[in-house]
Structure 1
Amino acid sequence: MSKTFTKAIFTFLLFFVTAAVAQAQNVVISGSVIDKLTKEPIPGVGITVKGTTAGTATDNAGKYNFSTSQKAPFTLVISYLGYTSVEKQITGNTSNLDVELEQTALLGQEVVISASRTPEKILESPVSVERMGAAAIKEVAAPSFYDALNNMKGVEISTQSLTFKSINTRGFNSNGNTRFNQYVDGMDNQAPGLNFSVGNIVGVNDLDVDNVELLPGASSALYGAGGISGTMLITSKSPFDYQGASFQYKRGINHVNDNSSETQPFNQLDVRVAKAWNNKFAFKGTFSFMQAEDWHANNFSNFDRAARQAKPGDRSSDPNYDGINSYGDEVSQNMKNVAQAALNAGTSGFVQQALGLTAPPTAAQIADFRAHPLRGPALTNFLTTDPRFSAFTLGFKNPALLPDQSVSRTGYEEVNLVDYKTQSLKTSGALHYRFTPTIEAIAQANWGTGTSVYTGSDRYSLRNFSIGQYKLELKGRDFFLKGYTTQERSGDSYISSILGSYINEKSKRSTDWFPQYVANFVGARNAGLDEAGAHAAARKAADVGRFVPGSAAFEAAKDQIMNTTIASTDFKKGIYGAKFNDKTNLYHYEGMYNFSNLLNNAVEFQLGASYRIFQLRSGGTIFNDLNDKIDINEYGAFAQLGKKLFNDVLKLTVSGRYDKSKNFEGRFTPRVTGVFTVAPNNNIRLSYQTGYRNPTTQNQYIDLSVGGGSQRLIGGLPQSLNNYSLYTNKPFTDVSYRAFLASASAGTPNPGLLQQYNFDAKGVVPESVQAYEVGYKGLLGPKFLIDAYAYYNMYKNFITAVDVYQRGDDGSFTKFGVPVNATGEVKAYGAALGVDYLLGKFNVSGNVSYNEIGDLPTGYINDFNTPKYRYNLGLGNKEIIKNVGFNVAWRWQDKFYWNSSFASGEVPAYSTLDAQVNLKVPSVNSMIKIGGSNVLNKYYFTSYGNPSVGALYYVSYTFNP
């Protein structure tokens, strides 16, 4: 036998003996946990040694068995959310320690972290905070926990598609909400190229959500830039606390009684697996896949882009029709301008050819040619007899044949351009290692991909896009250090209006289509047709050769354009592209230390700092980065000091944060809060908070054609403005440009009406808010919880946008959309009231919210985009009869006016009812749920230009929920 093998055997025996001795010194405990009422086993119950993190959890049969080196006697804590905890004294090895837990509802006893970045009871929070725990998530009356956020007090959701939804509080709602922060396990969940989270497309599946905390209003003092309208923290389940395998399959239908689609299937599968060893090492993995037919956007109202509002008419009655959810019809020209340009081109070409010039003639050469006794009549004869120009000449000779009317190209409906086969695949994995009971290292990866539709300044078809988030973190009871990156990839995403416009261009160039339209119109009018008939005849003639949706030519052009990048577009070569090429990244590093324990909790004191880098990489398809890489560096630090006074009756907290971004001056944001305990479990809170947000990456560097090419969005930084000479060749205001157009339509164009717009030399700068809030939260007896607040916000340098028109050398105008800061202050105020009442085994809840905007500065575009009143009512019972529970949520909101860069119009008032009934099957640790959102199937939309949402009915089966 070799010495090596002998040594190995000796080492193994020594290890075995040592382990046996160690095991002999451990205290071994086993038993089971059941529901006191139903006598059914409860899986996932936490069994821990009091004062430590040592312990385990019950298995699917409600049984547990573990050993601990804790010296007896000690106390064992048996706890599970929704049940009263039980403590047992342990004096040595114990078997068959069976425990019965009693269901309970402890209103106001939840612990939150978001409000102060340190654990505290929600009743004692210094600012408004909403919370949804794991127990509530299991039984929400909605298809997912994210949909159920709409039932929280003061929360609203803008639905752009089945999977893309934006959360908002306290006004200034938008489709992609850049004023609201969303964090998943401490990682900013924003897509760095967009600067807002893409809903829960790349997030957490329902089986892995431990809790959601939402802070309405400003939160920059603790969380940095952004979050002017609110901050939400989503925390996933720890593999130490929630072990085992779980899965959920959901099958449903939507598009019921939908005029735009047949009834369609909905399928979703969620899986979670977690395991821990010796309370030291743990891992978890999750997977979720959803597939369905998306909601169809079919608002074909006629839209006046200059006035930013709907106008009367449709394609049959308005030659310049521009449907909100049809694309390609944004391209429009004035008939007289078309005729004049064609005649000018014909004249120039004739003169050049007659004189044998190698370049177009000058104005003087053309004038001499016209004055020549022989050449002049020849030119006139050419223009009046050549079929390309004779109609235009005839029209100018007889103005009744050529009206001063704009006409648009024939567009394509969104359903023909956008991929409605929505799907979402998201997966995550995490490794956890505990060095001590309180110090833990985490390596985590979240990745998701999918197909959806997003509304910004356009409707964007997000196809096969992906976002990955990867984190390393070391955290303890009093500190954390973490670094993470967000990797955004646009996949096959494209702009729908550009696609529609370019399919038109592939079938027939606009330089040919518009002259054909005008010539045929003049001919039809000259033949005796009335104006409406002439327009119909002209469009029919000009549309000859137009690619028809579904045809081979249409599909070939569509496929080519949506797979060619925007930056590759070359009109001269006939190359058209609508595809993004975005590979933008975010890198973030952050740390915090809580000194409170070092100070014996005489005061609460925290310090933290962060550093982040945006790397904008769109290849010139979104940003002005075709030839230059763009990096944005930001850093910040905060401190917070809190102290309880007057025998813990009053708690004061002071916070402050300093942040600096590469393109903007540094900014300090303070926060002062006070919580006054007027009676046990009854607190009044006061707060003064400040918030700010930097202009988004797109506000700074975007360079993108939208609206079918009718408008260019550019960043508001001085360098972006200089790229288009907007400081030197000053553009004209939107109002004055429309006045000029009106004068031209009346036959007396008056350039004197045009008023210049002057951009600030600093360009766009960060906006800020001062927020005041007073609130009360208290228990009026053990079964009645009330929460109320009122707020008043004052915004400065509010980031909005202006449309301006720049005149080129040829006299034509180019429209630019540019982010700017509103002058003066924008003020908003509101209040909310929420109640929860335990009526026997029933939980009755309700809340009402009120939001209002004050006087607006002159010229400010009101994008408050929030109903004045909205309320929710809920009724639920976890077990109305044995193993059967239900939940119902009814929501109503008032009508309001929606204003955005895509479309503006009234959103009607609506109400919707969500409901579910569930059956628990303890024998196989499962739950069957039958439910639906908008079960009455009353179609509604949350923002103008977005799709209408109908019912989604489903049945789900969940194992080990």
Structure 2
Amino acid sequence: MIKKTLLFALLMLGSIAMVAQTTITGTVKDAKTGETLPGANIKISGKAVGTNTDFDGEFTLQTSDTPPFTIEISMLGYQTEKVEITKNKQKVDVSLTENETALDEIVVSASRTPERIMESPVTVERMDIRAIKNTSSPSFYDGLENLKGVDINTNSLTFKSVNTRGFATFANTRFMQLVDGMDNSSPALNFALGNLLGMSELDVKTVELLPGASSALYGANAFNGIMFMTSRNPFDDQGISVSLKTGLTSQDAAGDNEFYDFNIRMAYKFSEKFAAKATLSYLKGTEWFATDYRNTLNGQYVAGDRNSDRNYDGLNVYGDEVSTNIRGVAQTLEQLGLAPAGSSALVPSEDISRTGYDERDLMNYNARSMKFGASLNYRPYGDDRLEVIWNSKFGVGNTIYQGLNRYNIRNFFMEQHKLEFRGKNFFVRGYLTNEDAGDSFDTRFAGININREWKDDNTWFGEYVGAYIGATLGGLTSDQAHALARQQAESGRFLPGTPEFQAAFDKVTNDPDLVTGSKFQDNTKLYHVDANYNFQDMIDWAEFQVGASYRLYSLNSNGSIFTDYDGPIDYDEYGVYTQMQKKFLEDDRLKLTASLRYDKAQNFDGNFSPRVSLAYAAGEDKNQNFRASFQTGFRNPTTQDQYIGLNAGRAFLVGSAPDNLDRYTTPALTLSGAGATIAGTSSVTLTGRAAYENAFSASSVVQGAPTAANVELVKPEKVTAYEVGYRGIVGGNENRVTVDMSVYYNSYEDFISNNNVLVPFYGTVGDNSLSLAALANGDFTAFSTYTNSSADISSYGGSIGLNTRIFDGFNVGLNYTFAKFDFDQSTDPDFQAAFNTPEHKVKFQFGKTDLFENFGFNINVRWQDEYLWESTFHNAVIDSRTILDAQVNYTIPKWKSVIKLGGSNLTGQEYLSAPGVGAIGSQYYLSWTINN
């Protein structure tokens, strides 16, 4: 036994000797300041073997490789250095030279190949780990708004949408957001989820943003811009990082409320072949209260309030949308013998609305987000020739979304799972997105149906008219009779805070039938596969890439959103593309990039998307770069554009996929007395086809000259984009200024739009008799159709950004953006362009990362002028505003910590991102980040 033990020990010692480790130690410093650099990456060239410097800038690298070999030392914002290792226990002292400007940073998104921003053929904006540390905004996602040409529309505290170059909505279906290559939008509700269920701030490596059309490489919906969020690889960034953030949100309507934001990231490299990471984030706070009670009519503000306008419809009041002409009610009561003969003549022909509930009585303003992500990374060869990645993300949260109505998103759940094979020249990945709307509900229908749960509309208006007639016969004036009538009809109404109201609220918000409830159901899935191969190791005279993608939607709302009454609706789309990049002239100063993509969706004809760009690098160091590009983009109609079938209260929404028109049927619609006589029935039902084939244009009816709408079925919209730009360095080393400027022009074709139409209950539009009688008798209903505008629409604009350093290292940045669009409303009166973008924006940044030892600060100021916001929810002018954000941070090397104190909108002047949302107040925060 002893001999066997000795033999085993000798064998183990021999094995250890055979894989004896080489140990390298060293220090990494800033070449200019001499300060040590924590977080620098050290890796063996061509392999996954590596480590990072600690908070003192020191590292120890152990490997089974035997010298000689080469290590690479790199860090964001610095030029990579290579060092030859010739012996064991070699000590390495390296000084990294900072990139001359941010334009020297490397981006991948512009051409799907690494290149300097300076040499990119199109406009690119970028944020990395250093920028996140220095942002004055409460989160890195908020900090994106400080980038040139970028707008962030704040729907609520936890739901924000990024937009570039106009035509913004909160859904923002013209802008794509990818997280580690996965589309981060809701496949059914059609809005990008922002960072509600996105990436942990601790796990963000880079954010790259391309304003403008990008369909040639990224397909449908990369129409007005695309954003790439890339996480940190566990092979390169290891350890445990923690972030604790707390503070206050302050708003006049909501008061001062605490918020908490906790993040943890854990990553470990088990060997040269296997690494893993996990992230967890939790945020809790209070949403911005929406308290705009101004009176509205047809999407516009009008004079009056509940006391002065008996047909009052407050913007953030729900339930008061239910309105009727009380003379018609009086006539019906008289015909039924429920009112004295001739009494209907006493009742004015006046619209009266039911009393609604304020949003704060219906909405849960508790903001919450919890998200978990994990990845398993495997490198079978021990280097970066091939990496297999399994990535899963889970998120659940509460937020507020504003579309046609205001939606309380409660316990919304989304998961994504991805399997990816990635190498130096290729990737193949497939992922699944699955969502569950949880306990989400429509606040407008909550208000409407809580009212109806207490007293149905016929009873309420009947009591109102009966009381009005009685009061008038009793000698009261019309105003007195109206006041008494509402008091009588409101008797016993469910009041917020009472058990009766809560019981009705619970019943309505758990009922998915919008006739009686307000809940929306959704278990839609999206399946996506895409691949790319670069032939750079096979073809040397130019760089060629090819790629393809396939996507399958499986819509599953149980008939509450889509017309999927009999089971899920499946439809798919695919695309293929190629790109060639060729460099010419001495030192490769001229670069030509040409791309072509073909996409085909199940319900539409195929689209070709070409892109051609030229970039020329002038100057001795290639630091004067000029570029010009031509490209096209397209956007497929969304899932809702094609398959929605929804009673939205104000109108019936019907998607225009060919197989959707006859599948949707309205509830029974009651005819007037005169209409019942003409049609020979008291009620009718309509199919979605009637909206497209037998309807009046809503605007023509308002103008008093009814004409047929003749709505065509929706098809993809297209854009042709032209852009020229310049990036360069002006001035000498002491007063060097980086300049990044561009000018663009976009021409749109078949712009997707909603067209409001009125469908008569009887008659054929154009017969000039029955259908016009239906309009006269009030026997019609509104539909919102999905189609394309025939109008000529174009947009144009430009931006310029200047950055420099003054007074020994203070960073100063200034940028200006101009955006404008042209549209002749007379060519399509029913079309709303919804450009929703300020014409002028100015942003200023001032700060220093090392004002003194371990202490830095940053200040951001943003100004924008007023602009018109158009949407299906409401139209209004958004006032101009100036926003001030600021932060100070202190690094504690001994604790591997950074403490940051800051705030956003420090002037306290509240502002609206769009009509109907909560006014945005101030936010103050204190954060502690460890080992990041």
TM-score by length of 2: 0.91
Q: CA deviation at 1:328?
A: 0.4
Deviations, residues 85-115 of structure 1 (Å, cap 9, x unaligned): 5544422012554556676764311000010
Conserved 8 A contact 2:691-2:785: no
Pair 737,929 (structure 1): closer, same or farther in 2 beyond 3 Å = same
From 692, 701, 711, give the equivalent of 2:634.
Answer: 692
Q: Match of 1:846, SS?
A: strand
Write the letter of the residue equivalent to 1:823: S
SS of residue paired to 1:930: strand
Equivalent residue, structure 2, for 1:609: 548
Deviation at 1:274, TM superposition (A): 0.8
Q: What SS does the corresponding residue of 2:507 show, helix, strand or coil?
A: helix
Residues 394-432 of structure 1 show CA distances to partners (whole Å, capped at 9, x for unaligned) of 232xxxx32111011100011111110010101100111
Contact 2:628 2:723 in 1 (8 A): yes
In 1: Cα distance, 2:442 partner to 2:115 partner: 46
1:813 aligns with 2:786: no
Describe how 1:488-887 pairs up with structure 2 within 5 A. Answer: 488-566=435-513, 576-600=516-540, 602-647=541-586, 648-679=588-619, 680-706=622-648, 709-722=649-662, 723=664, 724=687, 725-726=689-690, 730-739=694-703, 753-760=705-712, 763-781=713-731, 783-809=736-762, 812-839=779-806, 840-856=808-824, 857-859=827-829, 860-887=831-858
Cross-structure match for 1:462 = 409
CA distance in 1, matches of 2:140, 2:108: 19
Query: 1:427-506 residue pairs with structure 2 within 5 A?
Result: 427-436=372-381, 437-438=383-384, 439-506=386-453
Counterpart of 2:616, as a letter, is F
Q: Which moved more, 1:44-53 or 1:427-436?
A: 44-53
Distance 1:9 1:580 in 2: 71
Measured against aligned partners, the alpha-carbon deviations of 1:648-679 in whole angstroms (never above 9, x if no partner) come to 22111110101111111111111111101232
TM-superposed CA distance for 1:532, in Å, is: 3.1
Deviations 1:359-390 (A, max 9, x none): xxxxxxxxxxxxxxxxxxxxxxxx3xxxx312
Runs (5+) with no aligned partner, structure 1: 347-382, 570-575, 741-752
Picking from 12, 18, 21, the partner of 2:18 is: 21
Percentage of identical aligned residues: 42
Separation of aligned partners in 1, 2:711 and 2:331: 34
SS, match of residue 465 in structure 2: helix
* Separation of aligned partners in 2, 1:39 and 1:248: 28
3-state SS of the aligned residue for 1:633? strand
Whole-angstrom CA distance in 1 between matches of 2:661 and 2:886: 52
Map of 1:372 onto structure 2: none
Do 1:40 and 1:922's aligned partners in 2 also have CA atoms closer than 8 Å? no
| 1:408 pairs with one of 353, 372, 390 | 353
Residues 914/494 of structure 1: CA separation in 2 closer, same or farther (3 Å cut): same
Letter paired with 2:523: K
Structure 1 residue 199, shift from structure 2 partner: 0.9
Contact 2:418 2:432 in 1 (8 A): yes
Q: Distance in 2 between matches of 1:563 and 1:869?
A: 45
Shift in CA distance, 28/729, structure 1 to aligned 2, threshold 3 Å: closer
Cα distance, 1:563 vs structure 2: 1.4
Aligned to 1:324: 315
1:57 lines up with 2:52 in the alignment: yes
Deviation at 1:537, TM superposition (A): 1.9
Aligned to 1:890: 861
Change (3 A) 1:185 1:12: farther
Aligned equivalent of 2:678: none
User: Which of 284, 300, 306 lines up with 1:309 in the alignment?
Assistant: 300
Determine helix, strand or coil for the equivalent of 2:314. Answer: coil
| Contact 2:693/2:711 (8 A) holds in 1 | no
Question: Residues 312 and 784 (structure 1 numbering): CA distance in 2 closer, same or farther, change over 3 Å?
Answer: same
Partner of 2:256 in structure 1?
Answer: 263
206, 210, 213: which one pairs with 1:211?
206
Name the Cα RMSD after superposition: 2.2
Range moving further from structure 2, 878-887 or 14-23: 14-23
Matched AA of 1:592: N
The amino acid of 2:629's aligned partner reads S
Matching of residue 342 in structure 1 with residue 287 in structure 2: no
Query: Does structure 2 conserve the Cα–Cα contact (< 8 Å) formed by 1:180 and 1:196?
Result: no
Q: What is the DSSP-based 3-state SS (H/G/I as helix, E as strand, rest coil) of the residue aligned with 1:207?
A: helix
Counterparts of 1:612 and 1:902 in 2: how far apart (Å)? 31
Partner of 2:667: none
- Residue by residue over 1:423-457, the C-alpha shift from the partner in whole angstroms, topping out at 9 and shown as x without a partner, is 01011001111123221110101111100000000
State whether residues 317 and 532 of structure 1, in contact with CA within 8 Å, keep that contact through their aligned partners in structure 2.
no
Q: Which residue of 2 aligns with 1:957?
A: 928
Say which is worse superposed, 926-935 or 628-637, in terms of deviation.
628-637
Distance 2:909 2:437 in 1: 34
Distance between the aligned counterparts of 1:203 and 1:454, measured in 2? 16
Change beyond 3 A, Cα 1:727–1:819: closer
Distance 1:818 1:729, change over 3 A: closer
CA–CA separation in structure 2 for the residues paired with 1:97 and 1:652:
41
Q: Is the 8 A contact 1:108 1:779 kept in 2?
A: no
Q: Quick check: 1:181–1:196 contact (8 Å CA) kept in 2?
A: no
1:294 alignment partner in structure 2: 287
1:718 deviates by 3.2
| Correspondence for 2:363 | 418
- Change in CA separation of 1:701 and 1:728 when aligned onto 2, cut-off 3 Å: closer
Query: Aligned pair in 2 of structure 1 residues 107, 729: CA closer, same or farther (>3 Å)?
Result: closer
* Counterpart secondary structure, 1:719: coil
Deviation at 1:41, TM superposition (A): 5.8
Q: Structure 1: which amino acid aligns with 2:809?
A: K
TM-score, normalising length: structure 1 = 0.89
Q: Which SS does the other structure have where 1:30 is aligned?
A: strand
**Secondary structure at 2:660 match in 1:** helix
SS of the equivalent of 1:665 reads: coil
Cα deviations by residue, 1:67-99 (Å, 9 ceiling, x for unpaired): 335553344333333456554442201255455
Counterpart-to-counterpart distance in 2, 1:596 and 1:774: 28
Q: Give the number of equivalent residue pairs.
A: 882
Q: Indicate the SS of the match to 1:118.
A: coil
What amino acid maps onto 2:751 in structure 1?
A: F
Comparing 905-914 with 54-63, greater Cα deviation is found at 54-63
In structure 2, what is the equivalent of residue 272 of structure 1? 265
Deviates more, 1:190-199 or 1:524-533: 524-533
What residue identity is the alignment partner of 1:651? K
Instruction: Report which stretch shifted further, 769-778 or 646-655.
Output: 646-655
Q: Distance in 1 between matches of 2:368 and 2:920?
A: 17
Matched to 1:611, the amino acid is Y
> Rg larger in 1 or in 2?
1
Deviation per residue, 1:119-139 (Å, 9 max, x gap): 000000000010001111112
For residue 823 of structure 2, give the secondary structure of its aligned residue in structure 1.
coil
